[in-house]
Amino acid sequence: MTHRFNGLAQEDLLGRGMASAGDVNADGYADTLVGSPWADSIITSPNAGYTQTYSGLAGGSQLQSPMTGNAKGFGRALAGAGDVNADGYDDYIVGGEDQFAMNSVYVISGFDGSILFNLGEEIDSDFGVSVDGIGDLDGDGHDDLIVGATGQRIRRYDGTNGFEDFGEVVAGLGDTDGDGQPDFAASTPRNSFASHRAGSVFIYTWDKGMSSDLTSISASSGGTITFDLDFKDGAAFDEYKILTSASGTGPTSLGTDIPLTRDNLVEDTFFGIYPVSNHTGMHGILDIPGDATGSIAVPAGLSPTLIGRTFWFAAITTLPTAYIPRFSSVAIPIEITP
């Protein structure tokens, strides 16, 4: 035994939730994240709960994150999240209830213990019953997370086939199929697909939807960027549009979340108006497997004021003659270099 951590008071239930926190203090050693979901708080309420991170090197307490407001069960489910805000410090995810008694998930900064994000859901949905980090799914430089909600959705992956308690346990798996993308799992431990309450675990892989052959383009010499679209088979014969944003990764919600910040460039490219005239296949129809190719030729001699700027590209699909997007790819950043 290298370390021992004890609760601060009777009925704190220290260790009810426990996970690797990653390296939250950036000292090169993995740290430990522990939850006390029944701990009382004289500032907030009984059973408000708190989480504690302990140094992997020295074993001492580093950050304590108590819940605020009329909350309870903070720390019932937790996991390391990776570096969500890309500040060089690993962050972590905590499940609990917020001050409005809504099941919620909190993303906590590994740097100072502050709440980075509060993701809320409906009362009694069990949103946050299980959480985990899954790596950078969409390639935007920020690690992502998965949240379980029994009977509720995990983004597009849900229990609509009658699977009982789908999402009771979720987990990031790393790259299980060798495609370079992190995969994840969700369980439904009481479903009776095989036999009565035999349970099932479902493994999902991430569909990026689009990739490009370049990550940067020279302002002085220009070049051609080629985009390969690879959507799921269910998108076959959908219309597609490759959109561009000069402002960031949004997201913009239009039936589905599009990882682009809405600006004039997004609106123009939605209607096929691009800032350069030489482009092919930026709008079109997906083939039977849901694939297509588009390209845009950037001329030489761009304005020096564009050097250092990044433009983001993402593809969306719609049903023919419809304008509401059905699917979206990840956002691909293209930087303008000298």
pLDDT of residue 40: 57
Q: Spell out the alpha helix ranges (H) of the chain.
A: 264-270
d(CA 238, CA 290): 8
d(CA 67, CA 114): 11
pLDDT of residue 79: 82
User: Please, which residues have CB within 8 angstroms of residue 80's CB and are 6 or more apart in sequence?
Assistant: 19, 20, 21, 22, 33, 90, 91, 92, 93, 133
- Regarding pTM above 0.75, the answer is no
User: What are the CA-CA distances from residue 62 to residues 79, 113, 191 (Å)?
Assistant: 16, 9, 41
- For the chain, 338 residues long, the average pLDDT of each consecutive 10-residue run is 55 62 78 68 53 64 51 69 84 69 74 79 62 75 73 39 57 72 71 63 75 94 96 87 93 84 95 93 94 96 94 92 85 94
d(CA 304, CA 40): 59
d(CA 172, CA 192): 24
d(CA 129, CA 149): 6
